[in-house]
Amino acid sequence: MFGYGISIFKTHYLKLCFFLYFGTLVNMKNIQLLGLLLVIIGSFLPLVHVPVIGNWNYWKLDHYLAIACWIFSACAVFGIVNNSAKIVRFFGILLILLFGFTLVAVKMQSLQYFSFLPFKSWQETFAGIVKLKWGWAVEFLGAFLMVFVGGNKKVNNRTQI
């Protein structure tokens, strides 16, 4: 019976440590890391659905755009590690611009892909078959978290008794 009480205490202690650590998500660094993680994970999620071929992630869309996304993410990690909110915001904005460019490029490429059809209405109809998937929401959410998280405010480091 005494051992049972100790295990409950240990479980309660672990829960307390967990909530104390993750309760500090107000810390800007953690939120920026969460945004960065969403961007990296989002690059492996389905972004575009082509009916016959299937779902495509960033790497299947274009290798160079995927590499640019990962390089921008690596530079944002540098900014997060060095507590530089300006660097993180800059690369977050670059990621948002890259994602916007990719969306426009996907639409333009799908229109160009069906350019052999004689009528423009047919081209637009067949280009509409290419659908954007839910992975874009994860990508943009991560980039927006990196950009719009408030700057690192100076905290008074004096210990109060």
pLDDT tens profile 46-93: 888 877 778 888 888 889 999 999 999 999 999 998 888 899 999 999
CA 49 to chain CA centroid, nearest Å? 19
Confidence of residue 125 (pLDDT cuts 50, 70, 90): confident
Burial of 11 (0-12, 13-18, 19+ CB in 10 A): exposed
Q: Given CA atoms 88, 91, 97, 101 in this order, what sign does their dihedral have?
A: negative
Confidence of residue 119 (pLDDT cuts 50, 70, 90): confident
CA 108 – CA 61 distance, rounded (Å): 13
pTM as predicted: 0.72
Cα atoms in the 13 Å half-sphere on the side-chain side of 13:
6
CA 35 – CA 22 distance, rounded (Å): 15
Report whether 122 contacts 29 (CB < 8 A): no
Annotated domain spans of the chain: 27-150
